[in-house]
Amino acid sequence: MPILTQALALSDLPAPPPGRTGWPWTELSSPLPPRQPDGSPWPLLSIVTPSYNQAEFLEATIRSVLLQGYPNLEYLLLDGGSTDGSFAIIQKYAPFLAFWVSERDRGQSHALNKGFARATGDLIGWQNSDDTYEPNAFASAARTWLANPDAGAVYGGVNYVDIAHRFLAKYPVCQPTVATTIPFASVTNHSVFYAAKVLQAGERIDETLQHCMDQEFHLRLLLKGYHFQFAPGIAANWRIHPAAKSTRQMEVWAYEAFQLCKLVYQREDLAPAVRQHARNSLYGLCLDNFAKGRVVLFRQTVRELIELWGWRGLAPQLWWKYALSWLGASNVRYLLALKSRLKLLRS
């Protein structure tokens, strides 16, 4: 089924697993009418889901897409050859997918680019296989884009949820600009829909990155002048669980975020305040590496700061921390813990 041209009902989908209730199991979004009030079709939405060994969560992701009540939907699912039961779930929902594959790939970014190359929508979203959309997100995205056709992307809010889909906290989404997109992402892929013109211009995910793919992609679009339009009705859920890549790869994130800040700092065409923010962020990330006991990465980032500003350009605190880092990660963590305990005793 290449394109879903009518809103799906609960009865159209396979029954949820026993004991699963609520969204997206026994509830659905408010369906849109088949056409807009003027009789024209709704914008075609393409959703790309990269997947690998996330069978525990994959069905919820799929249903959160299919139960949006959206009457012009293209869903593409790119699985990296999962061995955990994901294949059976994909086959279960295959009749509702415009395209799917389960084969070895070069990782998440490669899978996304394969999906982006096939997507034909006016708006393209990217939802990972352990995350979900909230109800009515697609209708809000479409209406916001129709009202702002020059936007390069529309975006909304993001919730942190736990393994059981219980709300934990809101991600601090803010208006994406070059400055707000470093050192932390102003918005994450979970609630962003890209205009087709972005992909038609050849923009793709950087496959050399392992963690900051969406952050780098958004930064690149902002540097090229694309505007991000906020849509208050868009919401999505970022699931925090022990196997999540965001949980396991903080050192990878720290290095890649440092490189994004470095890229911004080196852009002499940007406003001085933006470059100063990038400089401050470079210092902050470097010091955070030491504070978290990431001594090898700390020394590497110190060396990169020396390359940027020379040794005279570094604050004295970096030098003594650099010397301490050679004691090794375990000793540094011990000293940091001891310092923390002494502070508590004095308080």
Residue 2 counted as domain residue: no
Task: Work out the average pLDDT over 47-65.
Answer: 97
**Residue 225 and residue 280 in one domain:** no
| CA geometry: angle 245, 246, 251, nearest 5 deg | 100
Q: 102: which residues sit within 8 A by CB, 6+ positions away?
A: 79, 80, 81, 82, 86, 87, 90
Task: Work out the average pLDDT over 217-245.
Answer: 92
Rounded to the nearest integer, the mean pLDDT of the chain is 93
Q: What is the CATH number of the domain that holds 86?
A: 3.90.550.10
pLDDT of residue 34 exceeding 90, the answer is yes
pLDDT, position 247: 46
Residue 143 counted as domain residue: yes
pLDDT of residue 345 exceeding 60, the answer is no
**Residue 164 and residue 89 in one domain:** yes
pLDDT grade, residue 87 (50/70/90)?
Answer: very high
pLDDT, position 323: 79
Structural domains in the chain (count) = 2
Say what percent of the chain tops pLDDT 90: 83
Domain around 334: 249-346
Task: Work out the average pLDDT over 327-345.
Answer: 69
Tell which wins on pLDDT, 154 or 321.
154
Terminal Cα distance for the chain, rounded: 65
Are the C-beta atoms of 81 and 103 separated by less than 8 Å? yes
pLDDT in tens, 259-305: 999 999 999 999 999 999 999 999 999 999 988 889 999 999 999 99
pLDDT, position 136: 98
**Residue 162 and residue 26 in one domain:** yes
Of 217, 244, 271, the last residue of a domain is 244
Cis status, amide bond into 183, omega within 30 of 0: yes
pLDDT in tens, 99-117: 999 999 988 999 999 999 9
Residue 90 counted as domain residue: yes
pLDDT of residue 160 exceeding 90, the answer is yes
Task: Work out the average pLDDT over 219-241.
Answer: 96
pLDDT grade, residue 324 (50/70/90)?
Answer: confident
pLDDT of residue 336 exceeding 80, the answer is no
